[in-house]
């Protein structure tokens, strides 16, 4: 059998790669088109099925589920009153600040205990006990310590994010190949060199998973705190609309928070692609 020339192999490989990219683009186009079609169909059915109780053709009273057109009206009203963007900013600001605090503490503790087996075994029962406390049970205590302002919200968010990041980082550090670490130590590699070149890259997949899980939780905790004690933010708009039986406002607040969650999750996905771009896509999850 005659071997192909090197140039022919390169050309064949390029053609196959181009075909794969074309197939992937077509697949992605079909998926996005399907997603848009499903979303528009659901909104159309919702708009047609809901309406005033006595109106002909109404299947569900709009008092309970509102309608997309009424939700848009609520968003436009909040925008004209300069409420919408300010509330979104407050919620995002508190969410990200509390998230960053929790991530910093979780990464530090995860690396410290992951690289020190004895310390991890000593502190393990206490960490488990703290993790078992329902976060909402800490709200009265945090109110006493930090008041009802931003301090309480940041502490509550950080307490949730900390444990999720800590356990993810701890697991990632403990999964590092010990044989490789022993070889590097025999070669007298520095602690920072081992950490930078082996420990962090090996644990990064676990850390990214922790970030992906904890960021939506941070948003949920922030909104919950705003609903309990706040006069600003999306949680405040939600609870105010509910107390006024303003169903379009409730759904409008939920819609905005859903979009915020999607944007935040997209940010983590972009970070994952940047930090783990060297790994095949199927190995990042």
Query: Is a pLDDT exceeding 70 seen at residue 283?
Result: no
- Judge whether residue 13 has pLDDT over 50: yes
CA distances from 172 to 115, 208, 260, 267 (A): 11, 10, 29, 22
Q: What is the mean pLDDT of the chain?
A: 84
Taking the C-alpha atoms of residue 198 and residue 184, their distance in angstroms, rounded to an integer, is 9
DSSP 50: E
- 20-29, 49-58, 264-273, range with the lowest pLDDT: 49-58
How far is residue 47's CA from residue 62's CA, in Å, rounded to a whole number? 9
Which SS3 state, helix, strand or coil, does residue 284 take? coil
The CA-atom distances, in angstroms, between 223 and each of 11, 41, 82, 258 are 55, 29, 19, 12
What sign results for the dihedral spanned by CA atoms 251, 256, 259, 264? Answer: negative
Distance separating alpha carbons of residues 285 and 273, to the nearest angstrom: 11
247 close to 67: Cβ distance less than 8 angstroms:
no
Whether 1 has a pLDDT exceeding 50, the answer reads no
SS3 content of the chain, % helix, strand, coil (to 5): 80, 0, 15
What is the pLDDT at residue 137?
81
pLDDT at 243 over 60: yes
Kindly tell me if the per-residue pLDDT of 114 is higher than 70.
yes
CB count within 10 Å of CB 158 equals 21
CB 245 within 8 A of CB 66: no
User: 170 near 107, Cβ under 8 Å?
Assistant: no
Tell me the pLDDT tens digit for each residue of 140-151. 888 888 888 888
Confidence class for position 8, pLDDT limits 50, 70, 90: low
pLDDT in tens, 185-221: 677 766 676 777 777 777 888 888 889 999 999 999 9
Quick one: average pLDDT of 239-258?
92
Give me the pLDDT at residue 279, please: 59
CA-closest candidate to residue 225, choices 165, 151, 130, 132: 151
Listed in sequence order, the residues at least 6 apart from 105 whose beta carbon sits closer than 8 Å to its beta carbon are 158, 162, 165, 166
Percent of the chain with pLDDT over 70: 86
pTM for the model stands at 0.82
More confident residue, 183 or 169: 169
pLDDT reported for residue 98: 94
Are 120 and 113 within 8 A, CB to CB? yes
At 123 the pLDDT is: 87
Confidence at residue 146, expressed as pLDDT on a 0 to 100 scale: 85
């Amino acid at each position: 059998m005659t071997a192909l020339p090197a140039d022919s192999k390169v050309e064949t490989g390029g053609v196959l790669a181009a075909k794969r990219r074309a197939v992937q683009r077509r697949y992605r186009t079909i998926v996005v088109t399907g997603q848009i079609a499903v979303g528009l169909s659901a909104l159309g059915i919702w708009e047609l099925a809901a309406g005033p109780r006595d109106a002909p053709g109404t299947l569900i009273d709009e008092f309970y589920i509102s309608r997309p057109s009424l939700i848009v009206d609520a968003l436009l009203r909040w925008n004209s009153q300069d409420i919408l963007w300010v509330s979104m900013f407050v919620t995002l600001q508190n969410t990200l600040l509390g998230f960053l605090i929790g991530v910093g503490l979780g990464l530090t503790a995860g690396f410290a205990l992951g690289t020190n087996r004895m310390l991890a075994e000593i502190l393990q029962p206490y960490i488990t006990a703290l993790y078992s406390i329902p976060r909402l049970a800490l709200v009265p205590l945090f109110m006493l310590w930090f008041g009802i302002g931003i301090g309480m919200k940041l502490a509550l968010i950080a307490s949730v994010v900390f444990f999720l990041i800590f356990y993810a980082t701890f697991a990632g550090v403990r999964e590092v190949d010990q044989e490789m670490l022993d070889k590097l130590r025999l070669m007298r590699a520095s602690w920072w060199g081992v950490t930078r070149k082996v420990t962090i890259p090996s644990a990064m997949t676990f850390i990214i998973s922790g970030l992906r899980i904890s960021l939506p939780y941070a948003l949920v905790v922030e909104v919950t705190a705003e609903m309990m004690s706040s006069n600003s933010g999306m949680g405040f708009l939600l609870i105010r609309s509910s107390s006024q039986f303003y169903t379009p406002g409730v759904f409008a607040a939920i819609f905005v928070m859903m979009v915020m969650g999607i944007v935040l999750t997209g940010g983590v996905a972009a970070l994952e692609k940047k930090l783990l771009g060297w790994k095949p896509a199927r190995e990042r999850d």
